[in-house]
Structure 1
Amino acid sequence: MLPYRIFLAFAAPAFAWRLVRERGAAAERLGGHGPAGGARGPVIWLHAASNGELASARALIGAILDRLPGARMVVTCNTLTGRDFARGWGLDRVAVRLAPLDYHATLRRFIAAWQPDALILVESELWPNRLAEMAARGRPVLVLGARMSERSFARWARLPGLVRPMMGRISYLSAQDAGARARFVALGLDEAKAGPVVDLKSAARPAAAPDPDARAALAPHFPRAETLLAASTHEGEDREVLTGFAKAHAARPELRLILAPRHPRRAPEIAAQIARLRLPFATRSRGEAPGHDTAVYLADTMGEMALWYDLAGITFVGGSLVDRGGHTPYEPAGHGSAILHGPHVANFAGVYAALDADGAARPVAGADDIARALDQIDENAQAAMAARATRIIAAQQQAGAGLDPLLAALGRLIGEPGLTATKGTDHG
């Protein structure tokens, strides 16, 4: 743990500056803002990085609340946007906070306030001191939907003095694929604590419905068969998408692009790229309405992805032309949108492989492939791809183990057998 303590010491000024920038967030980062009080029941602490990880855990959170009517949850995340996203669910018995910094003092303050009976870490959120503080109190730590790429494995393997104690403090781990499970075991996880492979995202709830008024206002400007959505793009992807779209648009001026960056703060640099390509555009955050000649709509807002998916006949899934592991195919498929993706899809490797094999998704390597796809995938092809994707994803969800093994493990570890009993209430 010495290297990690040294890291935290050097990182302290950066964390302090972050507290200054995040006005009103310091108390939460330092472990404050505990519960308001009330009846004592099981308290589950669930931590996820940001929007994507929170979305993958949404069905799990609903199932815990459903099966344990007396339970409360405190959900923490690393970002302000993630906090706003989870608060937007409006769930009773769920408090949402920014995660306490991974220092012993802040964690002790947080744990003393909330008294969590268990900690659930989602995907790859492994924080050494959080594990240590919970384990020191004899409270279980579960890692669900756990991700471990080959590259991450190589990094962790170089720090055995840090990683082996961490693995020893994990009470239960369910990886999202067999390769990740094997890598966790190789790093020192007791194989008896490695549960079945369950991809949390495969248990996601049905696709959210868009705001009907917003859809009615925008639909005339975005004919679905002629509209491409670039969803959750990262730096390095926008140029490829825009270049490919511009090439296709020159031949088919009726084409439209909705570009929704993963981080809306990047909107000014993206707007500059659009302007350089001389494509007429409007920016959502500025309240600019698209006109009859608007080729690109810069959708630089949060919380409207369901609207963009619903308007687009084709979706390019971001985080896949650059090495970010790729974002979810479940949401575009849920809205009946044909799927394009780049080569970097490790976060959803199994489902993308199945989609590609059946022609339900199409891999692209850059601008030329995107332009070619827009030329070739007409309205009928879009519908056929979407139908195949719906079938494949439904089959994968039915074949998967679902949430029951995860809920049963949590129930066993905190002495709550009610978690194994299925109920029907929806916490939507």
Structure 2
Amino acid sequence: MRAYRLFLALAAPLALLRLWLRRLRGRDSAADLAQRLGRGSGTPGAIWLHGASNGELASARPLIAALLHTVPDTPLVVTANTASGRALVAGWGLPRVTARLAPLDTRAALRRFRRAWRPRLLIVMENELWPNRLATAREPVACIGARMSARSFRRWHRFPRTAARLLRHIAYLAPQDAESARHFAALGLPEDRLGPTGTLKSAVDLPAPDPETLAALARTLPRETTILAASTHEGEEEQVLRAFAHAHRRDPARRLILAPRHPARGATIASLIDKAGFVFARRSACETPGPDTAVYLADTLGEMPLWYALAGVTFVGGSLVPRGGHTPFEPAAAGSAILHGPDTANFAAPYAALDAAGGAIAVADADALAGALQRLSTAAAQADQADRARAALARRDGGTALISEITATLRDLLDR
């Protein structure tokens, strides 16, 4: 911890300079800068929930809803590292929920934030274990969906005293999987602080897309012939476009919705699509796909349920590049057949269950992806695989029970 504090002392001026540069360049507003510095008024006695960005916060939504029901008089402040995460939470319009950018992990910023909100409980989603945030907490700290890979464990194991000091601030930890539970326990987390194993992403509750918008787009993006590339990262779009080119040559009626993980990359991806020779439209430019539109670039936030509803097949991004893969639970809930790359470390057990049951197809590259798209070129093949996926995930899904158990424990922590 002393080394971390020394590092922060040295890095803080550079971090502040970077924030000021973002402000001067118009990438952050004055209010954004103030929030990152922990400034601003708050509602004392709140529950503070923190998630890195969209994925972690989307998985937390059922938990937030359960907390709003369980502790009806308590406000929630939800923080994110990114403006897109903050916008996602704000867009839900939930009562008693305030969305903010997370304060920097400096004692001064955290002190200002806690002075305003005086949180009764800090809930940390997944791997957001910021040392100062934990060490300075006077409120109980709960970590939900925590994951520690073998690689992370080896790194932490080199500093056992530091790991033990950090973990002693955690009152409750619900790990994503049994391996993570073993790793946290080996690093010094008391066994009686370990909660149930599972991921909240299994308790997905996709909001229904606007029916008029869905019907309008479905006229040019029929479900049977529409493929979704969901939450793609740099290095994946080129492979997806090459695979789609094969599918499109075989059947010119096939369409691709390309939804990057980071919509700010839209201009770069538009250039890739143009270079590939496809007629395309951009959602961010309010362009509507026409009869000749082969690719619809969905470079917006908060519309993934709409894209799932339109697509008979979904390739889940973050898996052809070393990003660990994104959730299979959302496309499965929408009844979309699932394809994924080799890197599924973030959801290893669910993808293993899907692959074993024939509920998903693993692909290694663009050629394999093209072959899988050919296998799923009919509505019957898509429906069969989607049914297998739902059955496979249902056998291991304890999402609702998991949230109930976690919420009950969090309610107890509030009373400490």
Q: Which TM-score bucket, shorter chain as reference?
A: over 0.9
Distance in 1, matches of 2:267 and 2:99, equals 30
1:26 aligns with 2:33: yes
Q: Tell me how far 1:365 sits from its aligned partner.
A: 0.8
Distance in 1, matches of 2:219 and 2:399, equals 40
Distance in 2, matches of 1:179 and 1:25, equals 38
Q: 1:75: which partner in 2?
A: 78
Q: 1:97: which partner in 2?
A: 100
Which segment drifts farther, 285-294 or 240-249? Answer: 285-294
SS of 1:76's partner is strand
| Contact 1:198–1:400, Cα closer than 8 Å, also in 2 | no
Q: Tell me how far 1:170 sits from its aligned partner.
A: 0.8
How does the TM-score come out when normalised to structure 1?
0.91
SS of 1:45's partner is strand
Which segment drifts farther, 1-10 or 212-221? Answer: 1-10
Unaligned runs of 5+ in 1: 417-428
The 3 A distance-change label for structure 1 pair 398 and 164 is closer
Pairs within 5 Å for 1:25-174: 25-35=32-42, 42-134=45-137, 137=138, 139-174=139-174
Distance in 2, matches of 1:384 and 1:164, equals 48
Which segment drifts farther, 327-336 or 194-203? Answer: 194-203
1:226-258 C-alpha deviation (Å, 9 max, x unpaired): 111000000111111111111221222111110
Number of aligned residue pairs: give it: 408
Q: Tell me how far 1:399 sits from its aligned partner.
A: 8.2
| Contact 1:146–1:175, Cα closer than 8 Å, also in 2 | yes
Pairs within 5 Å for 1:312-327: 312-327=311-326
| Contact 2:360–2:389, Cα closer than 8 Å, also in 1 | yes
Q: Tell me how far 1:310 sits from its aligned partner.
A: 0.6
The 3 A distance-change label for structure 1 pair 15 and 258 is farther
The 3 A distance-change label for structure 1 pair 164 and 345 is same
Distance in 1, matches of 2:263 and 2:296, equals 13
Question: Residue 186 of structure 1 aligns to which amino acid in structure 2?
Answer: A
Distance in 1, matches of 2:381 and 2:63, equals 35
| Contact 2:38–2:103, Cα closer than 8 Å, also in 1 | yes
Unaligned runs of 5+ in 2: none
1:332 aligns with 2:331: yes
| Contact 2:174–2:198, Cα closer than 8 Å, also in 1 | yes
Question: Residue 158 of structure 1 aligns to which amino acid in structure 2?
Answer: R
Distance in 2, matches of 1:125 and 1:31, equals 17
Q: Tell me how far 1:163 sits from its aligned partner.
A: 2.2
SS of 1:228's partner is strand
Q: 2:18: which partner in 1?
A: 17
Q: Tell me how far 1:15 sits from its aligned partner.
A: 4.1
1:69-126 C-alpha deviation (Å, 9 max, x unpaired): 1111111110100000001111111111111110001111111111111111000000
SS of 2:231's partner is strand
The percentage of aligned residue pairs carrying the same residue is 55
Q: Tell me how far 1:151 sits from its aligned partner.
A: 2.0
Which segment drifts farther, 307-316 or 9-18? Answer: 9-18
The 3 A distance-change label for structure 1 pair 29 and 398 is closer
| Contact 1:198–1:403, Cα closer than 8 Å, also in 2 | no
SS of 1:25's partner is helix
Pairs within 5 Å for 1:196-275: 196-205=196-205, 207-275=206-274
Distance in 1, matches of 2:143 and 2:58, equals 16
Question: Residue 264 of structure 1 aligns to which amino acid in structure 2?
Answer: P
| Contact 1:248–1:375, Cα closer than 8 Å, also in 2 | yes
SS of 2:192's partner is helix
Aligned residues: CA RMSD: 1.7
Distance in 1, matches of 2:337 and 2:255, equals 15
Q: Tell me how far 1:400 sits from its aligned partner.
A: 7.6
